[in-house]
Structure 1
Amino acid sequence: MMTRLGTADADPGEIDTGRLEVGETRDGSSFGLPVAVINGAEPGQTLYMQAVSDGDELNGVGVVQRVVPRLDPAEISGTILVVGIVNYHAFQVAEHRNPIDDTKMNRTYPGNENGTSSERIAHATFEAATRADLIVDLHQGSTSRMIDEVRVRCGKRHRMHEECLELAKVFGCGYILDQKGPDGQLARAGPDDGIPTIDPELGGAVGWDETSIEKGVSGVFNVLTHYGFLDGDSDYERQTRASGFDQYGSPVGGLVTFERELGQRVSTGETLFEVTTPFGETKAEITADSDGILWRTRRLPQVATGEYVCSVGTDIDTY
């Protein structure tokens, strides 16, 4: 049976690329999101994958760029639907938010076909996503420094929690954040529609990070193997899971020096970072309020009073 997404259509055993039209630009020209359909030769489940719903988070499209050429429809059971760049307008100007409506795209799901620019794009991509049995929404930590992780955002009381957590474990970045996310995230809206959904946050980089991209590529192939799209053994390791965050700002202005590396354990009362003058004079030492893992940090050292500095993942266990 032929499968279509936008202008891409593929019969069993075929792959096609095209555009999913979602509106017009300011000069009245139509525009569309780049899409791909990989229709396996044998029947099976459907995976939906998207990237760049935040316009400066590029590691996800790096994953798509490497994964799609390696997919041979003759060897696949099931169907893979891909939207390579979701936040079209923000991607064009290398910004996080959609500049047409100054909106963070991943707060607009499930969208509105008659709404703002972001809501219309969210509606179109959510319609594609809800055709699937599994959803992978590729992200990264924008301009912050952070570990590679997978986020489960539906909340522990959600009926789809265990399925989402299993998908996160299979993806296998090594770390899972299991914490209910804000309204409007695809990783919230997908499970509400009964579809296991994860939000891999593939590190933090200004632009492009090869190590995180390769982890994302491995994660996608882990999913494809585990869920039967590809033949092979499904062998995955236990993941380190955090169920909360402690966020830390600076009580003073100055230059930040971290006492721990990303991914390292911290104990209550240990120094996380020091703030100094430009001459190295100590102004403040900030200690951890809880045991945890240094999860995310600001990239640049200069801070003003009250400005965000870092996050520690808390309530740590393994899954």
Structure 2
Amino acid sequence: MTTLGTATAAPGEFSTGRLPVGEARDGSEVALPVAVLNGARDGKTLYLQAVSDGDELNGVGVLQRLIPRLDPADLAGQILVVGIVNLHAFHVAEHRNPIDDTKMNRAYPGDPNGTSSERIAAATFEAAQRADVVLDLHQGSTSRMINETRVRCGPRHRLHDDCLELARVFDAGYVLDQKGPDGQLARAAPDEGIPTIDPELGGAVGWDEESISIGVQGVENVLVHYGFLDGETSHGEQTRASGFEQYGAPAGGLVSFRKDLADEVSRGDPLFDVTDPFGAVKSTVTADSDGIFWRTRRLPQVATGEYVCSVGTDVDTV
């Protein structure tokens, strides 16, 4: 029997339920939607979660399409799923948990007696620690971004190669291989010996079908490669960046990009112009380094110093 919160499944069964994480302001229980797929055969455990950030919905789009396609009778091992991690933020379509103004993916491994976000992190981290492999499904918030996977444990970590292999198997085409901030699940779980990545499935307002399809295929690749499902899978050569440069606006106005997502960038190439409302160029920003045009803001209007775009640097293939 496999249990996660109130979801309980015998071998060969599927179950949904709720994982309690505290109480709301009216005293009602707050509980995250969870699912368990318990395979008919023994095997490994995969932990899947989505919506750690409340406006990053492509991950739950992946679960919505993937889970109905999985038959526990065909499965070896078990899959533990938390469908919506940052439930408070999801309800109000915001990035951060509005109860404590915290970015959830900075709260791991959490604290069962701490803030709202720390309690959610502790409950989901406890589930993640039961796994052999962890996928934390993200997107680039509402920015425009390429589809990528992120290896966040750092190149000197004992599990770095295992996490990089997991990223290659997921096969989103691009890998950001850079040590992440403290408090990320993809930092905390490798410290417990569990290979973990956070696929960043593009960026969208709402969700994006192309990125969701890449995510569904990525999870299926993982399920086959790690023996949860029978079959064969192969992954192609992927572009890896181990640096990440961000560019802000030197003047206020409207942004016009000179590069498209995934374009190769050479040092000195124009990245974007800032114009006035009548099209006159006020400033042109050029690349400091060679790399890949990785991410941009979605809306054109900017104030001085406001974020505009990012370039992945120190690029090779894996």
- Deviations, residues 107-163 of structure 1 (Å, cap 9, x unaligned): 000000000000000000000000000000000011111000000000000000000
- Residue 69 of structure 2: aligned partner: 70
SS at match of 2:251: coil
Residue 19 in structure 1 maps to residue 18 in structure 2? yes
Q: Percent identity?
A: 75
Deviations 1:37-94 (A, max 9, x none): 0000000000000000100100000001111101101101110000000001111111
Which residue matches 1:185?
Answer: 184
Tell me which amino acid in the other structure corresponds to 2:292: I
Partner SS state of residue 42, structure 2: strand
TM-score (norm 2): 0.99
Q: 5 Å matches for 1:118-129?
A: 118-129=117-128
Structure 2 counterpart SS, 1:316: strand
Structure 2 Cα separation of the partners of residues 59 and 304 of structure 1: 29
Which residue identity is paired with 2:2?
T
How far apart, CA to CA, are the structure 2 residues paired with 1:31 and 1:250? 41
Shift of 1:250: 1.1
Q: Which residue of 2 aligns with 1:59?
A: 58
Q: Aligned AA for 1:238?
A: E
Q: For each residue in 1:266-290, what CA deviation from the matched residue of structure 2 results, as whole angstroms up to 9, or x when unmatched?
A: 1111111111111111111111111
Instruction: Find the aligned partners of 2:147 and 2:232 in 1 and give their Cα distance.
Output: 24
Aligned to 1:222, the other structure's residue is in SS state helix
Is 2:182 the partner of 1:198? no
Give, as a single letter, the amino acid of the residue that structure 2 aligns with 1:291.
Answer: D
Q: Distance in 2 between matches of 1:237 and 1:9?
A: 37
Please give the alpha-carbon distance, in whole angstroms, between the structure 2 residues aligned to 1:185 and 1:222.
24
Residue pairs, 1:219-298, within 5 angstroms:
219-298=218-297
Tell me, in whole angstroms, the C-alpha distance in 2 between the residues paired with 1:75 and 1:238. Answer: 30
CA deviation after TM superposition for structure 1 residue 234, in Å: 2.1
**TM-score under structure 1 normalisation?**
0.99
2:122 is aligned with 1:116 = no
How far does the alpha carbon of each residue in 1:182-234 deviate from its partner, in whole angstroms, 9 at most, with x for none? 00000000101110000000001011111101110000000001001000012
What's the CA shift for 1:95? 0.6
TM-superposed deviation, 1:255: 0.8
Distance in 2, matches of 1:7 and 1:183, equals 30
Task: Measure the CA separation in 2 of the matches of 1:35 and 1:305.
Answer: 43
Alpha-carbon distance in 2 for matches of 1:291, 1:91 = 37
Aligned residues: 318
Find the aligned partners of 2:131 and 2:73 in 1 and give their Cα distance. 20
What residue number does 2:212 align with?
213
Moved over 2 A (4+): none
Partner amino acid, structure 2, of 1:131: R
In structure 2, the gaps of 5 or more residues are none
Alignment of 1:87-98 (within 5 A): 87-98=86-97
Q: Distance in 2 between matches of 1:268 and 1:97?
A: 35
Which amino acid in 2 is paired with 1:57?
Answer: E
Distance 1:60 1:280 in 2: 38
Cα offset, 1:169, TM superposition: 0.4
TM-fit CA distance, 1:31: 1.9
Gaps of 5+ in 1: none
* Code of the aligned partner of 1:268: R
Give the distance between the partners of 1:250 and 1:100, measured in 2 at CA. Answer: 32
How does 1:6-45 map onto structure 2 within 5 Å?
6-45=5-44
Distance 1:250 1:117 in 2: 35
Alpha-carbon distance in 2 for matches of 1:35, 1:247: 36
Counterpart-to-counterpart distance in 2, 1:303 and 1:27 = 39
SS in 2 for 1:165: helix
